[in-house]
Chain A
Amino acid sequence: MTRRELALIFGAGALAGTAQGRMWSRSVQPGVVGLAEARAALGKPLGPETARLAMAGALAASVGAESGVEAAAAMFSPKDIVGIKVNCLAGKFLSPRVELVEALVDLLAEAGVDRRRIIVFERSNRELQRAGFTIREAGPPYRCIGTNNDYDREPSISGAIGSCFARMVSTTCSALVSFGVVKDHDLSGVSAGMKNWYGVIHNPNKYHDNGCDPYIADVARYPYIRNKLRLTVLDGVIAQCHGGPAFRRGGIFELGMVAASTDPVAADLWAWREIESERARRGLPTLEAAGRPVRFLATAAKAGLGIDDPEKLLLVTA
């Protein structure tokens, strides 16, 4: 399906009232994942134009907007402090590309969010730097910092987890973006947008048994995340179908896609599907057969976080 077809389905008026971003919740599209092509070889950057086109295309496609800026305005308010959580665990070759993240920052800025109110963050400065980001405590052109162990003083309880959340998500930011990659994980099966939120709790090591289930959903459904999450973006230019979560050269493949969705479960469902496709192409067993079934998506869907039914997954190309 194309973006224009999606706009027809949702109605032209769906986004009309959101141009200033005040009605962002009206733009939530369960099950819809916007996709745009973006191709580059491992270790090679995307050109700025390519990155911009891909980011804007995926964003617009995810909500049926005319442009990436319009989509951003539908999701974020100029009053927001927007936190973009990037997953940099796997280092330079398998972290969100700087050029894609900066393309998103540009779209947010053009949609009216002050650049000083846009914070790209990860657990530590070191992880950001290893992935190619430059630490910018105060900007410009945007802030880029590690949370560096600045956690709430008391644990928050959510289902099976009891964790101190990074103050970046509990206190500082009013709106959040999960910016992950498409990769295999040796315990949860898939690490894309939802597992990225393990990076905002102080004790992720406690919650890796049973395929990280129900813990991934329990983190994501805590109000700090659930009430603030506006967008999930997945850098699938280079993806990894085996050997994750660390970078493993033998497991990577050129997927050549960027995905965006207001539905975090649907975004991960798409990532899962792509990983399974590549594994099948290589003759590898399914993730379930490999002993790491992706359980957390069903739990997340039951918690009302999004759509995990493949029949209801709606992929919209830019």
Chain B
Amino acid sequence: MSIDRRKLIVLGTAGAVATLHPPLLRVAAAAQRGSSAAGDELPAREASWYKKLEEGRVECELCPQACKVADMERGMCGVRENRGGTYYTLVHSLACSIHTDPIEKKPLFHVLPGEKAFSFSTAGCNVECKFCQNWEISQFRPEQVQAYNLPPERLVAAARRNGARLTAATYGEPVVFWEYVRDVAIAANAVGVRPTVVSNGFIKEKALREVLPLLSAIKVDLKSFRDEFYREQVRGELEPVLKSLEIIKEIGVWLEIVVLLIPTLNDSAAEVRDLCAWVKAKLGPNVPVHFTRFHPTYRLTDLPPTPVASLERAWKIGRNAGLNYVYLGNVPGHPGENTTCPGCGEILIRRVGYRILSNRLFNGSCPDCKRKIPGVWS
């Protein structure tokens, strides 16, 4: 049997679905038999954020790429198509990757530690990071990956059956399936499941503001603090991401930030210092910042993994800058994975990888000095 990695991902997720509930297994099996060949007509729903232009063209108003799209064409994300002057999302309810993860994997360290997050994604992305870890779904079009019809209510029901207290739109880029994110969040909130999002934050203000109040938490990848990096390595821009972070802070949705440190590209002490100073000044000292380790992948295979020393330097810079919660990621067993009380210095949550070894938080506070620790704890 010959199988490629994209199909393997789908089989893996089909297995995950199979453990959840027989009806979902049937959906998965049907999807595989059908195979998402380009010849198949994809289901389409009119997009929520776009405007019509002259001569049947449209302009997408979802993300700062602001693609102007002619009839029969798609935007840069590959999942939105102009059909006769109406813009459609082709991925609403079309999940290509489904899995139950610990919330620590997102990572959201200050959100219900140890709880499960029912995680899902569709194909597509609005940028093209040369170091993308999920390129086999994010850089493909919906007809190029196998996917399951999983409407919001069924997704949330599956989450509950699987004991997940959270949903997480993740893996690919939730911005490109923002209508699906919105509708899953509505369905989740209706039954007391907490919706979360893992995003690049490269989204226009109106779309962000409309969905943010529905979310319990969001993790944003701040890929660099240099616009040049965003343009060359990401094919995006820094400024809209910073703007998104400020909006999230303003709305009050729980926010954590991840910075993937890539050797020679964004790991200089000066850049890390600038980034940390900006976070403290604009977002405050209590927003967790995770510095995580890069591993070569996709189009960036000629660089080594990030040295642990670089991560530790960033960790130190962050704490010296006055940030209260600085973490290290992709270095299992490192003390930088633990949550420490900024008041008394005691370890509150001890972690190894995605596992919680101990959690001493009491009603969201340090049991020793009683300092309140910010987060979503119940």
Residues of A at under 8 Å CB distance from B?
89-90, 123-127, 146, 148-149, 151, 153, 155, 157, 162, 185-187, 202-203, 205-206, 208-209, 243-246, 248
Are A162 and B75 in contact, CB atoms less than 8 angstroms apart? no
26 A-B pairs in the complex with CB atoms less than 8 angstroms apart: A89-B72, A124-B37, A125-B39, A126-B40, A127-B39, A146-B37, A146-B38, A149-B36, A149-B37, A149-B38, A153-B5, A155-B298, A155-B299, A186-B68, A186-B70, A187-B70, A202-B139, A203-B139, A205-B74, A205-B76, A205-B78, A205-B141, A206-B128, A206-B235, A245-B70, A245-B73
Interface members, chain B 129-181 (any A CB < 8 Å): 130, 135, 139-141, 143-144
Interface centre among B67, B70, B135 (most CB of A within 10 A): B70
Interface members, chain B 201-240 (any A CB < 8 Å): 235
Say which residue of B76, B128, B130, B135 sits within 8 Å of A208 (CB atoms): B76
Are A203 and B78 in contact, CB atoms less than 8 angstroms apart? yes
Chain A residues within an 8 Å CB radius of B71: 246, 248
Say which residue of B57, B68, B76, B298 sits within 8 Å of A162 (CB atoms): B298
Top 5 nearest A-B pairs by Cβ distance?
A: A124-B38, A126-B39, A205-B78, A246-B72, A246-B71
CA distance A89 to B83 in the complex (A): 13
Chain A residues within an 8 Å CB radius of B73: 186, 208, 245-246
Are A124 and B76 in contact, CB atoms less than 8 angstroms apart? no
CA distance A172 to B73 in the complex (A): 28
CA distance A91 to B40 in the complex (A): 16
CA distance A206 to B139 in the complex (A): 9
CA distance A124 to B41 in the complex (A): 11
Are A153 and B4 in contact, CB atoms less than 8 angstroms apart? yes
Chain B residues within an 8 Å CB radius of A126: 38-41
CA distance A244 to B55 in the complex (A): 10
Q: B77: CB under 8 A from chain A?
A: yes
Say which residue of B36, B67, B72, B144 sits within 8 Å of A245 (CB atoms): B72
A148 to chain B, nearest CB (A): 5
Q: Which A-chain residue is minimally distant from B145 (CB atoms)? A: A149
Are A203 and B141 in contact, CB atoms less than 8 angstroms apart? yes
CA distance A258 to B322 in the complex (A): 70
The binding surface of chain A is classed by DSSP as loop
Contact with A along B319-360 (1 / 0, CB 8 A): 000000000000000000000000000000000000000000
How many chain B residues touch A (Cβ–Cβ < 8 Å)? 33
Chain B residues within an 8 Å CB radius of A246: 56, 70-73
Are A206 and B76 in contact, CB atoms less than 8 angstroms apart? yes
CA distance A203 to B68 in the complex (A): 17
Chain A residues within an 8 Å CB radius of B4: 153
Other than the given A202-B140, A205-B75, 12 more pairs (CB < 8 A) read A127-B38, A146-B37, A146-B39, A153-B4, A153-B5, A162-B130, A162-B299, A203-B78, A205-B76, A206-B139, A206-B235, A248-B55
Chain B residues within an 8 Å CB radius of A155: 135, 298-299
B266 to chain A, nearest CB (A): 19
Chain B residues within an 8 Å CB radius of A209: 76
Chain A residues within an 8 Å CB radius of B130: 162
Q: Which A-chain residue is minimally distant from B130 (CB atoms)? A: A162
Are A149 and B143 in contact, CB atoms less than 8 angstroms apart? yes
Are A157 and B299 in contact, CB atoms less than 8 angstroms apart? yes
Q: Which B-chain residue is minimally distant from A250 (CB atoms)? A: B55
CA distance A216 to B58 in the complex (A): 23
Chain B residues within an 8 Å CB radius of A245: 70, 72-73
Chain B residues within an 8 Å CB radius of A186: 57, 68, 70, 73
Chain B residues within an 8 Å CB radius of A185: 70
CA distance A126 to B73 in the complex (A): 16
Are A202 and B144 in contact, CB atoms less than 8 angstroms apart? yes
Interface centre among A151, A203, A245, A248 (most CB of B within 10 A): A203
A157 to chain B, nearest CB (A): 6
Say which residue of A146, A206, A244, A248 sits within 8 Å of B78 (CB atoms): A206
Chain B residues within an 8 Å CB radius of A89: 72
Say which residue of A127, A146, A202, A208 sits within 8 Å of B141 (CB atoms): A202
CA distance A90 to B73 in the complex (A): 10
Chain A residues within an 8 Å CB radius of B72: 89-90, 245-246
CA distance A149 to B10 in the complex (A): 15
CA distance A245 to B70 in the complex (A): 7
Chain B residues within an 8 Å CB radius of A202: 139-141, 144
Q: Which A-chain residue is minimally distant from B72 (CB atoms)? A: A246
